[in-house]
């Protein structure tokens, strides 16, 4: 409530300016998304139903992570070299997360309002795939964290404090993924399994 009241007192330009700047600044993930989803950058409606929108705060965070890594990689020096190494393992992981994880988390709001749509029937299969990939996900996180720690050491040595802060945020994000976001996505799949089973029983009766 307090956060909302503070936000409402901000001038309109200040409330929207940051969001617009983040949306307009495209990270290198954008081209990779276009190659993945089609040359025109359009989503396949069968694989990406309209209600499967990534929550905007997470979308902003994804873009900021990618943009920060690009800036660090272009900075030169030892930090630039390690940042390029980190970007190489981080970017593919972020792109996989968008489909496997973040789109599923986008269902939290409609589900909290009791909205269940036929398109959500595909979610349990997605989350089963997610559960099957957890070992791979943890391995990727370990690889990312290993390089991030190397970047953290170099950034401290070269006194690049903004990069230190970013790297700490990246490591926290990986931890949050494992203990909050992935369990939440899997829980959504389990909940939808129950809802669709109950719906089928109702129709049979």
In this predicted model, what pLDDT tens digit does every residue of 160-192 receive, in sequence order? Answer: 999 999 999 999 999 999 999 999 999 999 999
Query: Are 166 and 72 contacting, i.e. CB atoms less than 8 angstroms apart?
Result: yes
d(CA 68, CA 106): 24
Assess whether pLDDT exceeds 60 at residue 10.
no
> Rounded mean pLDDT of the chain?
80
For the stretch 23-69, pLDDT in tens is: 334 455 655 566 655 543 444 433 455 567 889 999 898 888 888 88
99 band by pLDDT with thresholds 50, 70 and 90: confident
Number of other CB atoms surrounding residue 11 within 10 Å: 8
Question: What gap in Å lies between CA 137 and CA 153, rounded to an integer?
Answer: 24
Cα torsion for 46, 52, 58, 59, to the nearest 10°? Answer: 50
For the chain, the structural domain boundaries read: 2-204
So what's the pLDDT on residue 28? 54
pLDDT band at 98 (very low <50, low <70, confident <90, very high): confident
Looking at residue 38, its pLDDT comes to 57
Residue 96 is predicted with a pLDDT of 87
pLDDT of residue 14: 43
pLDDT cut 70: percent of the chain above it: 71
124 pLDDT higher than 80: yes
- 170-176: long-range contacts at Cβ-Cβ below 8 A with a sequence spacing of 24 or more? 170/65, 170/90, 170/144, 171/145, 173/61, 173/65, 174/141, 174/144, 174/145, 174/148
The answer to whether the CB of 27 falls within 8 A of the CB of 67 is: yes
What confidence score (pLDDT) does residue 40 get?
38
Are 61 and 173 contacting, i.e. CB atoms less than 8 angstroms apart? yes
120-141 average pLDDT score: 93
Model pLDDT, residue 49: 57
């Amino acid at each position: 409530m307090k956060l909302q009241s503070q936000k409402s007192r901000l001038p309109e330009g200040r409330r929207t300016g940051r969001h617009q700047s983040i949306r307009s600044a495209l990270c290198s993930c954008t081209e990779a998304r276009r190659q993945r989803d089609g040359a025109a950058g359009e989503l396949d409606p069968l694989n990406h139903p309209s209600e499967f929108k990534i929550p905007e705060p997470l979308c902003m965070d994804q873009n900021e992570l990618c943009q920060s890594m690009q800036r660090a990689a272009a900075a030169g020096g030892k930090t630039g070299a390690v940042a390029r190494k980190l970007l190489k393992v981080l970017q593919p992981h972020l792109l996989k997360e968008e489909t496997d994880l973040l789109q599923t988390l986008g269902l939290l709001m409609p589900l909290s309002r009791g909205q269940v749509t036929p398109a959500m029937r595909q979610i349990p299969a997605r989350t089963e795939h997610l559960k099957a990939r957890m070992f791979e996900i943890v391995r990727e996180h370990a690889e990312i964290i290993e390089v991030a720690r190397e970047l953290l050491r170099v950034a401290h040595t070269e006194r690049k404090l903004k990069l230190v802060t970013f790297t700490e945020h990246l490591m926290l994000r990986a931890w949050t993924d494992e203990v909050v976001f992935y369990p939440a996505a899997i829980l959504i799949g389990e909940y939808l399994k129950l809802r669709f089973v109950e719906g089928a029983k109702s129709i049979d009766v």
